[in-house]
Amino acid sequence: MRKSDLKSLLAGVLVAVPLCLAFGTATLAWTTRSPGADGMPQSALLGMTAAGLVALSAAAIGLRVERAQVASRLASVDQEAAERAKWLANQAAAEQMSLRNVAPLLPAEVLPASSFSMRAANLEALADILLRHRPRLVVELGSGLSTLLIANRFKTAGNGGRLVAFEHDERWAELCRYYLLANGLDGIAEIRTVPLTRRSALGCEVPWYDLPTAPSDLDRIDLLVVDGPPAGDPRHAAARAPALEVFYPRLSPEARVFLDDTDRTGERAVVDAWVESFPEFHPRFARTLSGYCVLERLDPSARRAVP
């Protein structure tokens, strides 16, 4: 129950009590009158008085109970708000630490961050996957800081890694390409501009890249990074759902899927749908400011038959 609802309930109770008091007072005053022309017996008047006092007592008891319930509920709301504020403060501190850890992993020339940029804690988790599992082919949906991070890690590792990112916004793609070129990463990472179209996903029509199937030149994808298309609009909450279905046939047996923004209900529903359709994948969620999920096969040999 919201605070406004609780306050409205308390206000209603406080209005009802004076009415009961007025009724009891009037009834008590009436009992002091002698029976007159109306002929009402004294016993009847006393009965009305008793009834009024009983009603008044019940209202007073009810008021105390309601006030106790309201206080308890308000305290619960305040505690939840305090816990949420504490969690946000802790996450903000963790984000600052991740930013310091990620900064040396980025190239010298970095494009400006935007509201769509992957959070530093998520970038750090992505860098950890690159370091521990050493993927050779990464496909990214969306582009930005994560594109520069992945390409720069490949350059540092010198393992011949390749990155292909798909971006629907041509102007943003051109900006990212400029920074790839400025950092000497254009031979490692490629950004392909693909417009958005409509596709059915999770029972609704959503914007999705004009990619009915994965391009044939992308085979044995070791890491699929899903940070696009934009899915912040509740009407497009399932916009990223087609990703695994489209690229599944091109994944390597050891492939992992990294989904950004799993603090949103839409992305969590996407993970649920993926696990149901591709049960060999096991999800591991992480609670950061924006959240992320890594899906990997517990048994690399377990793969769904691809038609």
Q: Tell me which of 78-87, 130-139, 199-208 is least confident.
A: 78-87
Average pLDDT over the chain reads 83
Q: Same domain, yes or no, for 245 and 117?
A: yes
What's the CA angle centered on 98, arms 93 and 101, to 5 degrees?
Answer: 135
Q: Residue 24 corresponds to which tokens in the numbers above?
A: 């009891």
Q: Same domain, yes or no, for 158 and 186?
A: yes
Instruction: Report the percent of the chain where pLDDT is more than 90.
Output: 62
pLDDT in tens, 139-150: 999 999 999 999
How confident is the model at residue 36, as a pLDDT? 45
pLDDT in tens, 177-206: 999 999 999 999 999 999 999 999 999 999
Q: Same domain, yes or no, for 85 and 156?
A: no
C-alpha 162/C-alpha 173 separation (Å) is 17
* Confidence grade of residue 54 (pLDDT, cut at 50, 70, 90): low
C-alpha 182/C-alpha 176 separation (Å) is 10
Flag whether 105 is in a domain: no
The residue among 141, 130, 198 whose CA lies nearest residue 164 is 141
Q: Same domain, yes or no, for 114 and 70?
A: no
Report pTM. 0.74
Q: Same domain, yes or no, for 51 and 139?
A: no
**The sheet that has 251-260: what strands, in order across it?**
189-193, 162-167, 137-141, 221-226, 251-260, 292-297, 281-286
Q: Same domain, yes or no, for 47 and 125?
A: no
Flag whether 207 is in a domain: yes
Domain boundary among 33, 62, 95: 95
